[in-house]
Amino acid sequence: MAAPTDLPPLAATLRRHDPDRYLAALFAPAERRPALFALYAFNYEVAKTREVVTEPLLGRIRLQWWREALDGIYGGGRVRRHEVVEPLADAVRAFGLSRALFDRLLDAREFDLAGGPPSSLAALELYCEGTSSTLVALALEALGAAGGDAAEAGRQVGLGFALSGLLRGLPFHARAKRSYLPEDLTEAAGLDPRDLFELRSTKPLRQVVEQLAQRAREHLEQARGHVASVPRAALPALLPARAAGFDLRRLARAGYDPFAAVLARPDGLRAWRYAAAALFRRY
C-alpha cells in the first residue's frame, strides 16, 4: 500500500473521509484504481451536501451542479475544470460507466435535504439502495465485473454497508438533530425523538438499532451467498462488507447502544481485515 505522502489527491481525500472504500480500492488492479478513487470522491462530494449547505435550496443547486457536470462528460463537450470532475470523466470514458446510475444516485441524495426521517424501513432501504448500492454498481462497472451474481451481491453489500454506516454515524446525525431511523420502527418502539437528539441511550432506541443491525446482517448474508459465483475481479467493490460485519458485531457487544464509548474507538486492524479478506477472497 502506498504511504500517505505518496497518495494522489483524490486518494488522500478518501483516506481521510471514506477510509473503508479507500482501503477496498487499493486491492483493485492498478489501471482501474484511479477510476474507483474518482467514483468514491464523486460520492463523497455528493454525500456531504447536507453538511455544507445552510438550506435545502442550496443543496439542490449543488446537486444540480453535479448533474450539469455529468452533462458535460456524457455530452462530449467541455468537461468542467474540477479536481473530481476531470478524473471522473476519464473513468467514464475508459470504462463506459452508465449515466443512469449517476442520475439514480443524485436523485436518491435529494432525500438528505428533506429534513425528516424515512417513513418506513422500506423507505430507508430504498434510499440505501439508491445511494450505496448504486455506487457499488458503478464500481463493478469500473472493475469490468458488472452483471450476473456480482450485481446482486453488490446490491446486497450496498444495503448492508449503508445500514451499518448509518448506525455508526447515528451520534453525528443526532447531534445535528437529524435522524435516519424509520418512523414505523421508532413509533412501534415508543422512541421519543428528544432522547435521540439528546444522545440518551434508552431501551426503545436500542430496540430500533438492533432491528436495523439485524436487517443489515441479513443483507450481508445474502450477499455472501453469491461468493462462489462472483468473479474475483468484483472483489474490491464488495470488500467493505467485511468492515460492516465487524462494526455490527462490535455494536452487538455494546448492547446496541449507539452512543457507547467503545464504538468511537478506531479499528486499528481495519487495513489487515481488508488484506485478509482479499487474500482469502471473502467479503
Residue ranges of domains in the chain: 19-265
d(C-alpha 152, C-alpha 134), whole Å: 11
Which pLDDT does position 50 carry in this prediction? Answer: 93
Tell me if residue 199 falls in helix, strand or coil: coil
Q: What is the pLDDT of residue 3?
A: 43
Question: Closest Cα partner for 241 from 157, 150, 165?
Answer: 157
Q: What is the pLDDT of residue 7?
A: 75
Q: What is the pLDDT of residue 6?
A: 67
Question: pLDDT means per 10 residues in the chain (283 residues)?
Answer: 64 96 97 98 97 94 97 91 96 97 98 94 98 98 96 98 98 96 98 96 98 98 97 97 96 98 93 94 93
Q: How far from the centroid of its chain's Cα atoms is residue 43's Cα?
A: 8
Residue with cell 474490491: 236
- Which residue shows C-alpha cell 482501474? 32
Sign for the CA dihedral angle at 90, 93, 97, 100 comes to positive
Radius of gyration over every alpha carbon of the chain, rounded to an integer in angstroms: 18
Measured CA to CA, the distance from residue 105 to residue 121 in angstroms comes to 19
Domain 19-265, CATH number (from 3.40.50.880, 1.10.600.10, 3.40.718.10, 3.40.50.300): 1.10.600.10
What is the sign of the dihedral through the CA atoms of 171, 237, 229 and 130?
positive
Residue 282 sits at the vertex; the CA angle it makes with 248 and 244, to the nearest 5 degrees, is: 20
pLDDT of residue 78: 87
